[in-house]
Homo-oligomer: A and B are copies of this chain.
């Protein structure tokens, strides 16, 4: 199976602590790396992950709170020092370009690569990235400023063609890819060999949804229906329900309700408030509603 992995670099909330880094993760899809959010300290966490810096070309920023973007300038500066030449694409709310550009101009003079901003409207559901293997769609959320999540959808991979069928029907080379992509084969005698006899189906395409930060928002269940993995913020426990509402965050139980309603395969919760010494309570409250829940933690690798 092709690679589809999520590396948690940081899963703390507004106040970074010695236990949790600010928000950041890397989605590795077939060795292309996509970063989501980039709180302070992300570049060191990226180094710790041993992922290849050069494979990271796209960064998606959910919203402009410091714990989701203060690490950008350090990362950009370091990429310059290690002689990156490939463009770096930052997908974000349009305010970020205005805020970051003077910093890049001053601190990263003469950098050997370009930073290219791709502004989007977090309030609108839209595909903001698309290539041969993956698409990324915004998930409009509701927080104290414009915020969205991101839905990563793998594209279907071609079917596997059966070796013995190639030999048996002496299928010419030029037909191989066409059959992999679903065509039937017609022999020289005009006999139609249906595709499902020639191939075995490829693995079903996988999907990953990242939702942080947001108030409890049941409507997103429809958009993230059936994803293989959902990362949902769970800043607070039930006891802080009022505070969750007030600060436009979610409780662990509410995150689990989203997972249940969306019938996702697995849930990982994160963005933990600094008040929790450990997150066992959050985990238990979520698992009561959605058993297949796990806690995010720094340096956790989740394979889809």
Binding site for B on A (CB under 8 A): 14-18, 21, 40-41, 43-44, 47-48, 64-66, 70-71, 73-74, 77-78, 81-82, 95, 99, 102-103, 106-108
Contact = CB atoms under 8 A, between A and B. Distances in A.
B70 A66 contact: no
Given A18-B44, A40-B41, A99-B102, 18 more contacts: A15-B78, A15-B81, A15-B82, A16-B43, A16-B44, A16-B74, A16-B78, A21-B44, A40-B40, A40-B43, A41-B41, A41-B44, A65-B107, A66-B73, A70-B77, A95-B106, A99-B103, A102-B102
Contact of A107 (B41, B66, B71): B66
Copies in the complex: 2
9 contacts: A15-B78, A16-B74, A17-B47, A41-B41, A64-B106, A65-B107, A70-B77, A95-B106, A99-B103
A47 B82 CA distance: 30
A74 B47 CA distance: 20
Contacts of A18: 44, 47-48
A48 B17 CA distance: 8
8 A-B pairs with the lowest CB-CB distances in the bound complex, closest first: A40-B74, A66-B77, A66-B107, A41-B41, A70-B74, A18-B48, A16-B44, A18-B47
Contacts of A102: 99, 102
Contacts of A106: 64, 95, 99
Contacts of A99: 102-103, 106
Nearest to A105: B99
A17 B44 contact: yes
Nearest to A71: B40
A17 to B, nearest CB: 6
A51 to B, nearest CB: 13
